[in-house]
A and B are shown apart, each in its own frame.
Chain A
Amino acid sequence: MSRKDFLRFVWIAVVAPFVFIWGMSVKRFRESDGKSELRISSMIPDGISFYDEVIISKRDGEVKAFSAHCTHLGCIINEIRDGEMVCPCHGSRFDTDGKPINGPAVERLRQLNINKENGEIVIAINGR
């Protein structure tokens, strides 16, 4: 083994653990970050309502919650036009069931779990 190859080997051997520790540090930090939830009054209007990272769709008494993050590149959807939810970043359109109507997004909006507690609707927002 030449000196150059040996130094290259030592370089990788010393740096690699740091990369591993970096990855573990980030993983632990994210795990300890906790989960977030949204609590809103159960009195919500028919149609679509926007609550920052959550979209509530209420139709015929049925309530559904979706992540407001567009499935294309994660932008927050905050507009409804002609009954369709529109992402402002690249123009994806979704119907009120979260199904994509027009690209570039091709996946449905992620549906979130809803619980009802003491007259409130509680929605778990876990990542995107």
Chain B
Amino acid sequence: MADNKFSIKSFFYDTYGAIASAAFMICAVSGIFLAIPYDITAPYESLGSLLILNPFAVFFRNTHYWSAQLFLIFTLLHIWDQLKQSGEKNVRSGVWFRLVISVLVVFFVMITGFILKADADAMQARLIMENLVRKVPLVGDLIAFSLLGTGKSLQLVYVHHIATATIFLVFIIIEHSRTIWGKRTTFLYTLLFVSVLSFFFQAPLHDSIGRVMKGPWYFVGLQEILHWLSSPGLSLIIIFGLLLILYLIPKISERKSQISKKIILYTFYLYIGLTIAGYFFRGENWEWRTPWDGKGTDYLENAFNPEPVLFGQNFAEISGKEIPTINGRKESCMLCHKNVSGFSPAHDPKAIGCVSCHGGDPFSSDKGRAHRRMIVIPGNLADAGRSCGTAQCHPVITERVDRTLMNSLSGMITVDRFVFGESDSLSILSGVHHLGNTAADEHLKNLCVICHLGNPKTETGRITELSRGGGCNACHLNYNEKAMLSHSLYQKNKGNSTVNQIVHPSLTLQVTNEHCFGCHSRSGRISTNYEGWHETQLTAENIAGKSGFRMLDDKRIFERASEDVHHKAGLDCIDCHNSYEVMGDGKLYAHEEQQVKIGCEDCHFEKLPATISYDRLDYESKKIVNLKGWNNNSRKFIKGKESGIALINTIVRGDSAVLVGKNSGKIHKLNPPGESCILGDAHSDVSCSACHTAWTPRCIGCHNVYEPDTEGYDMFANRFKKGTWVEYTGEYFAMQPTLGVFDNNTGKSVKPAVPGMILTIDKKSYGKEIDGKSFLFHRLFAPAEPHTTMKEGRNCKSCHNNPVAIGYGEGELIYEINNGKGHWKFSSKYKDNEYDGLPEDAWISFGFSNKEYDDNIFSHSTRDNFRPFTVEEQKKILTVGACLICHKENSKVMKESLKVDFREYLKRVKSGCILPEFK
């Protein structure tokens, strides 16, 4: 009876089985031609050469690939079709048994073809297959070895693919269909269809760099199943179970046979679902993703690869020997870029190729295709994992950099959220990659977070004052003069496709202050402080014709101030801050002072600290020492007190040491601390920077408001947008810092403090209120290391008689003696703030009877463990200050007071001394 219902079969020109046979014949014949350029002793290399130089062989490879896929698909359709028609009843028992076995053989010939690519996916697939087969009881080991061989040789796989399995399938086809030669038209139509596919779509080959491992599409579903099975042997039970069901179908009753067929069909549908999920929705590290999330679809493109075969290209003059083999992979890049120079030895293409950094397609000599998915600027943190951070290069370093404060901006974000009232903790870890749309997070995105290392470098060229972020390049990218010239010529002639940049920038250990400058001229301004520049609110017009000013590339005007003595001596940032501080040590830190381990005492010591010999250096330190040519078995280095890591640019000589500039090579003598630094215990809690900081930038009067109609910039997404937080700043000063106290279980340390957050926030402008408050005010100081070190320390009065140092703000601090009683009085320079009644620039109020102040002493700063002076401490400071009214700083009386218990010392003062009373 004619079947009038719609049938997929009617679309095709012959039966599924006939088309499968035709595809099989095409596959076998194209395989013979493919075997000519294929080299089993260097399979991946030979395929790479073939792809680069031989478009005709490429066409045969594509034909072989697509005909094989068609063969598989139509074989499966044929099986389903025959089961639907109960075709198993027309087959003898022995033949049916061999047909069931042939299902395994079909998949075996397909997977061996996949393995013979010998790319990363193929070699992993080989391991999986070997280990899965070994799980067959008793004979698994024997079968695995006999099918796949041993080690990395593909000889046995090749033999089974081209001979064993193919011959078996030929016998099976002839046995059950009585012929292998189908209709001529079937063969021609199939050949035509395969040819069209082969011309337009390339068979895949993994470049061995992309991080996603995918098996062949027909085993992706199995890959998904194996992901959920801790005992992968169970998958063999499923496979053999299904084959057993298939085998038993003709031997059981009709009803059971129909149920069995449904089981097979629904299992097949489930498998299709798993295949789709595994192929399109699994990404790196087995994480769920979507094909449209932009996280890299190279495996999808590689699988499909819609680009015509380039028959027209002329390779007559190129020999295969000219194509270098890097790490077992042919790379076509140097065919065009052979004259490029300027690399550091470790990053020369002869050592690592081009693709390992820049991506692209190493298997094409066509410019457009070779540059497909190329990373023009590698080293950004988004790409670092597949370039700098691959297993063969710097995997652990990229992990460390990911966790460093320069990438997370933890402290900045934590404090900002705190002042916006969105968090009540100053100690939690935060990350720039988790910013949302709250008022604080929007504030951060508009004003602060451009300086995280994850911010990509998007333009070629050197690191400049305007550079922000840039991943590995932020520190390590260097353009020498030749590279700069080459780059500018290239930029000028960019439209000319024949012009290449000839001198490539290098990636080196030469991290200069210019690399740090861009980001560190913001926030605490330590780069500009270090060089002796203080930021003003002047404009270019204001300074026209005047000296003592500097305009940065971002138009900010700085005026001359005293430079740090270390800068004056020629030290660079990295002479103090080593790789473990800058790239991180793998730990997450909430604030800067936790990640920075270097201390002044490491170099300025009374007695030589612990040392480390060359042979005991950690790997990274030793590698850097060797690269700098400092390797010397007898050399010893100072061991950092807090870090325990060697300061690799120190040389210990007897009981002393010198420091060598990492970039300059200049030798610096390491001076011991001054006499007053070590005289007595009176200042034992005072840090070096508290005394030796010449000045620090301060600003007050900061107001933040959200302006919904003003165009702003999202520094994380790097795009302009409407609506932005705007910060209206007050005055900028440069003066000796206020002092505060780090106070925790391990002890106390007096450090510089700056007005980190004296600000108002108009939250109502963003449409948010907190506890009914639309307006927030904070007065929080932050600990700082201003990097304006001076040789001589502050004089005594600059702390003990200085209202700014104690925290009262600028003004007159006078010691009055009336009727034999002394009292300190303070009148502020600035008027009182309307919100808390303190002078605008103050940290704390002047007064000594506020118990609530001491009870909440840690609520005044941006750290849980940093505070202003307690009332008792203020009294002690000012008592000494009272002494200094009459006694000179370098008098015997004052010097003596440093060495003894001051409270006992006060009991011995002369009757004429009037000590202050504090009310």
Contact = CB atoms under 8 A, between A and B. Distances in A.
Interface stretch (B125-133, B672-680, B690-698, B849-857): B125-133
Contact of A43 (B223, B392, B619): B619
A103 B124 CA distance: 18
Nearest to B139: A23
A95 to B, nearest CB: 14
Contacts of B396: 45-49, 80
Contact of B131 (A23, A74, A91): A74
Contact of B391 (A45, A50, A83, A90): A50
Contact of A89 (B128, B150, B586): B128
Interface string A18-55: 00001100100010010000000001111111100000
From DSSP, what is the main secondary structure of chain A's interface residues?
loop
A101 interface: no
A76 B124 contact: yes
A75 interface: yes
Interface string A92-128: 0000000000011110000000000000000000001
A80 B142 CA distance: 34
Given A50-B391, A74-B128, A104-B228, A83 B586 contact: yes
A81 interface: yes
A46 B132 CA distance: 34
B622 interface: yes
Most buried by A among B132, B391, B399: B391
Contacts of A106: 230
A111 to B, nearest CB: 19
Given A50-B395, A73-B128, A86-B285, A44 B619 contact: yes
Nearest to B145: A26
B618 interface: yes
Contacts of B228: 104
Given A90-B226, A104-B227, A75 B286 contact: no
Contacts of A75: 124, 127-128, 213
Nearest to A81: B285
Contacts of B618: 45-46
A36 to B, nearest CB: 8
A95 B145 CA distance: 31
B620 interface: yes
A6 to B, nearest CB: 19
Given A30-B145, A45-B620, A83-B586, A73 B395 contact: no
Interface residues of B, number: 35
A88 B124 contact: yes
B229 interface: yes
A79 B623 CA distance: 22
Contacts of A43: 619, 622-623
Nearest to B585: A46
A5 interface: no
A64 interface: no
Given A74-B128, A83-B586, A88-B211, A104 B395 contact: no
Interface in B114-152: 123-124, 127-128, 130-132, 142, 145-146, 150
B213 A69 contact: no
Contacts of B286: 86, 90-91
Given A22-B142, A33-B150, A79-B285, A90 B212 contact: no
B213 A88 contact: yes
Nearest to A50: B391
A83 B402 CA distance: 11
A79 B150 contact: no
A62 interface: no
A78 B389 CA distance: 11
B382 to A, nearest CB: 14
Contacts of B211: 79, 88
B392 A50 contact: yes
B223 A76 contact: no
Interface in B393-447: 395-396, 399
Nearest to A58: B619
A104 B230 contact: yes
A26 to B, nearest CB: 5
Most buried by B among A50, A72, A82: A72
A47 B586 contact: yes
B390 to A, nearest CB: 8
Contacts of B661: none
B213 A89 contact: yes
B142 A90 contact: no
Contacts of B230: 72, 103-106
A64 B555 CA distance: 55
B128 A88 contact: no
A79 B120 CA distance: 13
Nearest to B229: A104
Interface in B606-625: 618-620, 622-623
A11 to B, nearest CB: 13
A45 to B, nearest CB: 4
Given A74-B127, A76-B127, A88-B211, A45 B619 contact: yes
B146 A22 contact: yes
B142 A91 contact: no
Interface in B633-680: none
Contacts of B146: 22, 26
Most buried by B among A72, A89, A104, A128: A89
Nearest to A91: B286
Nearest to B224: A90
Given A79-B285, A81-B285, A91 B232 contact: no
A104 B142 CA distance: 26
Contacts of A86: 285-286
B236 to A, nearest CB: 12
B872 to A, nearest CB: 43
B786 to A, nearest CB: 33
B226 A104 contact: yes
A91 B282 CA distance: 10
Nearest to A82: B399
A23 B142 contact: yes
A4 to B, nearest CB: 13
Nearest to B134: A74
Most buried by B among A75, A82, A90: A90
B150 to A, nearest CB: 7
B586 A79 contact: no
Interface string B208-245: 00011100000000010011111010000000000000
Contacts of B123: 76
B232 A88 contact: no
A83 to B, nearest CB: 7
Given A46-B620, A75-B124, A91-B227, A80 B395 contact: yes
Contacts of B213: 75, 88-89
A58 B211 CA distance: 24
A12 B378 CA distance: 64
A11 B391 CA distance: 54
B154 to A, nearest CB: 16
B882 to A, nearest CB: 53
B399 A89 contact: no
23 contacts: A23-B142, A26-B142, A30-B150, A33-B150, A44-B619, A46-B619, A48-B396, A73-B131, A73-B132, A74-B128, A75-B128, A80-B399, A81-B285, A81-B385, A88-B285, A89-B124, A89-B128, A89-B213, A90-B227, A90-B286, A91-B227, A104-B227, A104-B228
Interface of A: 22-23, 26, 30, 33, 43-50, 58, 69, 72-76, 78-83, 86, 88-91, 103-106, 128
Given A26-B145, A91-B286, 17 more contacts: A43-B623, A44-B619, A50-B392, A72-B226, A74-B127, A75-B124, A75-B213, A76-B127, A80-B391, A88-B213, A89-B124, A89-B226, A90-B227, A90-B286, A104-B230, A105-B230, A106-B230
Q: Which 4 A-B pairs have the closest CB atoms?
A: A91-B286, A45-B619, A74-B131, A47-B396
Interface of B: 123-124, 127-128, 130-132, 142, 145-146, 150, 211-213, 223, 226-230, 232, 285-286, 385, 391-392, 395-396, 399, 586, 618-620, 622-623
